Amino acid sequence: MKFEMRNKIGKIALILILLTSLGFTSCKKWLDLQPEDGLIEENYWKTKEQLKSAVMGCYASMLDGSAIPLTKYMFMWGELRGDMVTTGFGVDDNIDITTLNNLRRDQLFMIRTEIDATNSIANWEAFYRTINYCNDVIKNGPKVLETDKTISQAQVNQYLAEARGLRALMYFYLLRTFKEVPLKTEPTTSDKEIVSLPKSTSEEISEVI
């Protein structure tokens, strides 16, 4: 009787061990799954098509923005701030700002030079997003030469020049508007790499860019 009981306990223990092993194996496979709708950095920067797409992504990012497209930021930081255009009301008009939407209110404050950190037009997030895309191309673009023999050094240099030129344009607007801004020349690829950077002078940025 005792032997049969021990035999049953042994079988149950063996089954539990097997189930646990299968569970760990399945869990490991689940953890090792690759994303189906995204790109893995190790699998990128292999072909000239990928390099071209990355450069196109830099340009496409200018159509995006925090609250408004980046290109509209560029327009307002120049013409609107320089009194070259008007929002439809004057600086001294007696306007109830509570009747304005956020963008119109922020435009009025910019015309009145009453700008603070809460003003959506003073948000430079969209510019640094494009800068980050450009940094990614500049750093990783040359890797394509190692795996794709159908692209020449001259073609890679052309793509890198486009990324550097676009990055310089972003810093031109940032420096003209804020004078001193953080200098970022390395791409940020994960949340762990996000750090606060000190401001750099226009001279320091001009030397690098």
Q: What is the pLDDT of residues 61-114, one digit of tens each?
A: 998 766 678 888 888 887 776 667 666 655 455 666 666 777 777 777 777 777
Whether residue 164 sits in one domain with residue 95: no
Q: What is the pTM of this model?
A: 0.72
pLDDT for res 5: 53
CB 173 within 8 A of CB 74: yes
pLDDT for res 2: 46
User: At which of 105, 122, 139 does a domain end?
Assistant: 122
CB 54 within 8 A of CB 136: yes
pLDDT band for 17, please (50, 70, 90 cuts): low
CB 102 within 8 A of CB 137: no
d(CA 205, CA 209): 6
Whether residue 91 sits in one domain with residue 164: no
Whether residue 206 sits in one domain with residue 150: yes
Neighbours of 209 (CB within 10 A): 17
% of residues, the chain, pLDDT over 90: 36
% of residues, the chain, pLDDT over 70: 69
pLDDT for res 44: 86
d(CA 66, CA 161): 26
In 93-129, which positions are buried (b, 16+ CB within 10 angstroms) versus exposed (e)?
eeeeeeeeeeeebbbbbbbeeeeeeeebbbbbebbbb
pLDDT for res 155: 96
Rg, the chain, Cα only: 27
Whether residue 53 sits in one domain with residue 128: yes
Tokens 């344009």 found at: 169
pLDDT for res 15: 61
Between 74 and 170, where is the model more confident?
170
pLDDT for res 131: 95
Domain that holds residue 134: 45-66+123-209
Q: How many domains does the chain have?
A: 2
Whether residue 143 sits in one domain with residue 197: yes
d(CA 66, CA 126): 6
Q: Residue 115: which residues within 8 A CB-CB, separation 6 or more?
A: 109, 121, 122
- First-to-last alpha carbon distance for the chain, in angstroms, is 85
Between 127 and 85, where is the model more confident?
127
How long, in residues, is the chain? Answer: 209
Q: Residue 106: which residues within 8 A CB-CB, separation 6 or more?
A: 119, 120, 121
pLDDT for res 51: 96
Q: Which range scores top for mean pLDDT: 30-39, 92-101, 148-157?
A: 148-157
pLDDT (average), residues 13-37: 53
Neighbours of 142 (CB within 10 A): 16
pLDDT for res 77: 80
Whether residue 167 sits in one domain with residue 149: yes
